[in-house]
């Protein structure tokens, strides 16, 4: 039988866990109450910070930057190495806080903390690989090259669904690039944020680095708006909705700052006639129902060849019927709660609209566990079968709602994949090499992440993460995403003793 922790049990666990991570929980009293999606009840009360605190934080970060940029990159990597070691020590504690505040099942919460450890490993190696190029000069006795330098203060605005990992993607890379970070986390996950910050502050103290390298600001829209508009923030990395991005992007551009925007996703999998359906079903179910559908990379559309659409739909419906829904901290649970009532209402509205557009509900839908937790919102992951991609399908619904659509021709499937405003993640399930290569080509998926025979979610830190179109166009994490956190200088060195001009220009006086 499913049971949920009481308010007192969950609040006590959250505070004790945060304390073990180094948070001064005795100083947390405030007038803003946060709740847990597990039972919908209060966890703690905190004080919110506003624009004045943002100004002070950016000033402290700028002071730290002036010292930190002089530290050789491998020395900066030593701090990140220690941070990764401390994250490993507190892996279970941080995962517990992620579960309490974001509602993630235990294995996914631990996976998020492992992702933090992994990006630290990546960044440590990166600290010795911040390469510039040497290019041939057209002028004799000259050397042409580029160098990369620390950029400045990095502001991070993160969302509830990855309350720790997204911050770490930015922070680990920013620190080895020579930049301090000011973090405005989601209002829904403050204890997770404070605990992550405390762990990094311990590493900073142990390494003798400037304390202002890492700061966290708990606050509402006022704090976020102040950080976005602050002229002292060289790079603003924001994760959230496309609506948020429309406000953030122009504000940063207006002051000639840089921005990394990780916004909405409306991700699809194309399922070809040659697909291994056993593998396909497993890949779809995790991508669509994992994290209760609350990932930006969640699969929201399945575009299946008409010859396999019926069988695939039946298999998915059967798998959905077996998904254990309940306390995300309990063993065996695969689907935890939605973050709040607004998320559940949005899912309900989207299902109703899809049915009005001619769709058929083939699995799930509706609320679960309402008798156990009337203030929490557990939803049964839903599948709606449609004959065409209606307007509701082109909108992102941040919940476990999956649409199944048929196709006849592979290029038609590609067109359906691309016929949404978002462009984050996509996948194709096929055994046909030509189809796989076409999907990966310039004529194929227009997304930033394009997979073959795996789902749309679960990206590794080694690759650059991000999307196109209304997803924002930013790239974080691996590959060469580090370049966003540095400034490039092109250098010409003349050792010839002469002064020839480029392009053969003659300016002899």
pTM over 0.85: yes
DSSP string, 170-206: HHHHHHHHT--EEEE--TT-HHHHHHHHHHHHHHHHH
Q: Which sequence positions are flagged as catalytic?
A: 262
393 close to 405: Cβ distance less than 8 angstroms:
yes
pLDDT at residue number 425: 98
pLDDT at residue number 94: 98
459 close to 162: Cβ distance less than 8 angstroms:
no
94 close to 164: Cβ distance less than 8 angstroms:
yes
pLDDT at residue number 2: 78
- Digit-coded pLDDT (tens) for 430-479: 999 999 999 999 999 999 999 999 999 988 999 999 999 999 999 999 99
pLDDT at residue number 355: 98
List, for the chain, all residue ranges whose pLDDT scores fall below the cut of 50: none
Show Cβ contacts of residue 300 under 8 Å, excluding neighbours closer than 6 positions: 265, 266, 267, 268, 288, 293, 393, 396, 397, 401, 402, 403
DSSP string, 54-102: HHHHHHHHHHHHHHHTTS-HHHHHHHHHHHHHHHHHTHHHHHHHHHHHH
Domains delineated in the chain: 7-263+472-488 (3.40.605.10), 267-460 (3.40.309.10)
Cα–Cα distance between 61 and 72 in angstroms, integer?
18
pLDDT at residue number 152: 98
241 close to 224: Cβ distance less than 8 angstroms:
no
- Digit-coded pLDDT (tens) for 358-395: 999 999 999 999 999 999 999 999 999 999 999 999 99
pLDDT at residue number 339: 98
pLDDT at residue number 509: 86
Element of type H or E holding 379: strand 378-379
Instruction: Give the phi and the psi of residue 375 in degrees, each rounded to 5.
Output: -95, -5
- In this structure, what token pair is assigned to residue 473? 């166009």
Show Cβ contacts of residue 189 under 8 Å, excluding neighbours closer than 6 positions: 97, 98, 101, 102, 160, 163
pLDDT at residue number 29: 84
- Which residues on neighbouring strands pair with residue 486, listed in sequence order? 150
């Amino acid at each position: 039988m499913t049971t949920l922790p009481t308010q007192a049990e969950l609040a006590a666990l959250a505070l004790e866990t945060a304390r073990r991570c180094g948070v001064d929980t005795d100083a947390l009293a405030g007038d803003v109450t946060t709740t847990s999606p597990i039972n919908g009840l209060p966890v703690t009360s905190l004080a919110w910070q506003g624009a004045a605190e943002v100004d002070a934080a950016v000033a402290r970060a700028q002071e730290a930057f002036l010292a930190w940029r002089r530290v050789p990159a491998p020395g900066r990597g030593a701090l990140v190495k220690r941070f990764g070691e401390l994250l490993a020590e507190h892996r279970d504690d941080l995962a517990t806080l992620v579960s309490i505040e974001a509602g993630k099942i235990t294995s996914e919460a631990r996976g998020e903390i492992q992702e933090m450890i992994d990006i630290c490993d990546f960044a440590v190696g990166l600290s010795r690989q911040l390469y510039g190029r040497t290019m041939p000069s057209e002028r004799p006795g000259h050397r042409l090259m580029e160098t990369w330098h620390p950029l400045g203060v990095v502001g991070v605005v993160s969302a509830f669904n990855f309350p720790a990992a997204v911050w770490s993607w930015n922070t680990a890379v920013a620190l080895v690039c020579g930049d301090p970070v000011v973090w405005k986390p989601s209002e829904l996950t403050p204890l997770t944020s404070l605990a992550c910050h405390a762990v990094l502050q311990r590493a900073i103290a142990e390494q003798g680095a400037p304390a202002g390298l890492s700061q966290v600001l708990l606050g509402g829209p006022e704090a976020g708006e102040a950080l976005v508009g602050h002229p002292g923030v060289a790079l603003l990395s924001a994760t959230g909705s496309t609506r948020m991005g429309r406000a953030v992007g122009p504000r940063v551009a207006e002051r000639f700052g840089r921005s990394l925007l990780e916004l909405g996703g409306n991700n699809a999998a194309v399922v070809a006639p040659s697909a291994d359906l056993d593998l396909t079903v497993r890949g779809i179910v995790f991508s669509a129902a994992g994290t209760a559908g609350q990932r930006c990379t969640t699969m929201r559309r399945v575009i299946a060849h008409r010859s396999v659409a019926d069988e695939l739909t039946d298999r998915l419906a059967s798998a959905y019927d077996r998904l254990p829904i309940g306390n995300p901290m309990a063993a065996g649970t695969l689907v935890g709660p939605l973050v709040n009532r607004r998320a559940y209402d949005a899912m309900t509205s989207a299902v109703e609209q899809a049915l009005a557009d001619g769709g058929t509900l083939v699995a799930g839908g509706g609320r679960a566990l309402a008798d156990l937790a009337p203030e929490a919102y557990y939803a049964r992951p839903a599948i709606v079968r449609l004959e065409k991609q209606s307007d509701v399908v082109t909108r992102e619904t941040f919940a476990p709602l999956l649409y199944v659509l048929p196709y006849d021709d592979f290029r038609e499937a590609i067109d359906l994949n691309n016929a949404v405003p978002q462009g984050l993640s996509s996948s194709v399930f096929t055994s046909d090499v030509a189809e796989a290569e076409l999907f990966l080509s310039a004529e194929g998926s227009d997304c930033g992440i394009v997979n073959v025979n795996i789902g749309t979610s679960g990206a590794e830190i080694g690759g650059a993460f991000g999307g196109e179109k209304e997803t924002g166009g930013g790239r974080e994490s691996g590959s060469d995403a580090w370049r966003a956190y540095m400034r490039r200088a092109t250098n010409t060195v003349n050792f010839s003793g002469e002064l020839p001009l480029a392009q053969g220009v003659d300016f002899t006086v």
